[in-house]
Amino acid sequence: MKEGDIRKQVAKRRDCEVCGELATKRITFLLPHSRSNPSSTGYGKDDISWCSDSEVFVCDEHETDAREIGRNRGVEYCSTFFYERFPHVFLYWVEIKEEMRET
């Protein structure tokens, strides 16, 4: 970093973990016995639909592949979030670096 640098960020949508296209679904998973497992984010909670111990972002075509990815990680299906309804959960920040121009 040097004097005059400007830091900016841009929000980008996550990619499908299978094919790399833009994700349309966020599939969340919880550890087994999540309500009674202290290692789980669902521990001791009544409504665990928003909890997530693991997640997979996929496009419509690869939704079934996401569940297989979850099984391979040793977690159980919890919820599916759709981009159309919850676009904010698909976004992450990427820093853009640009130099300030002298006028």
HEC readout, 41-57: CCCCCCCCCCCCCEEEE
Beta strands 76-82 and 91-99 are unpaired
Through-space distance between the first and last CA atoms of the chain, rounded to whole angstroms: 21
pLDDT digits (tens, 9 = 90+) for 25-57: 999 999 999 999 999 999 999 999 999 999 999
Task: Report the DSSP beta bridge partners of residue 82.
Answer: 25
Does 98 or 92 have the greater pLDDT score? 92
pTM of the prediction?
Answer: 0.81
% residues pLDDT > 90 (the chain): 69
Contacts of 96 (CB under 8 A, 6+ apart): 8, 9, 10
Average pLDDT of the residues of the chain: 89
Residue with tokens 């121009």: 101
